[in-house]
Chain A
């Protein structure tokens, strides 16, 4: 079945450092890919998405490119801020519900990011 693998955290960076959180997936066909962010004490917010190969999703300075050849959707930001401290979840919905557990959103394990001043 479809699955998502994220790099393990926690990740600790200094303010203004470059961020990469790796995400790779296994899926049949062409899934839609998402990054969700969860700030402390809150629910999940959609950060960005990409629905076809070579699409680049971007929001709030974060970017991720849908790479079919490497089955990856790595999250990047050029200069992180303390306010970016959160847990980041990579996720997918499969193109074919029959292979994707009925069309559910499949999450990675999450990566906790801590940014120090």
Chain B
């Protein structure tokens, strides 16, 4: 069982919809991440939060809006997405960031389809 929980598991949304992805961890980790993954490719980093502050934004389009309400929760708000945004969205956490000795723990992801 993964220690990082993501909801929902699957999401289908139209290009005019607004939806949110949610992620939760209770390992006391102070760094949380959003990744986007296309089929059989490595995950691509989108955002990093360290101590609830946005640390890295990998030039992600503004239609993706992250939020970190507290040290255990991470949200990704979606608005006006494009079909090419369809992918597996993975949340991860680690003890610290940067974390040379701190491996990432991943959730099972949200499979997003934009129609």
Residues of A within 8 A of B (CB): 31-32, 34, 36, 41-46, 49, 51, 87, 89, 93-95, 97, 100, 102-105, 107-110, 112
Q: Mark B23-41, 1 if CB is under 8 A from A, else 0.
A: 0000000000000000011
Give the residues in chain A near B105, CB-CB below 8 Å. 46
Instruction: Count contacts between A and B, CB distance < 8 Å.
Output: 62
Count class of interface residues, chain B:
20 to 34
Q: Mark B54-78, 1 if CB is under 8 A from A, else 0.
A: 0110000000000000000000000
Check A102–B42 contact: CB distance below 8 A.
no
Check B42–A32 contact: CB distance below 8 A.
no
Q: Which of B71-98 contact A (CB under 8 A)?
A: 90, 92, 97-98
Cα(A38)–Cα(B44), bound, Å: 15
Check B106–A44 contact: CB distance below 8 A.
yes
Cα(A71)–Cα(B48), bound, Å: 28
Give the residues in chain B near A31, CB-CB below 8 Å. 100
Check A44–B99 contact: CB distance below 8 A.
no
Give the residues in chain B near A46, CB-CB below 8 Å. 103-105
Check A110–B42 contact: CB distance below 8 A.
yes
Give the residues in chain B near A51, CB-CB below 8 Å. 100-101
Cα(A62)–Cα(B49), bound, Å: 32
A31 to chain B, nearest CB (A): 8
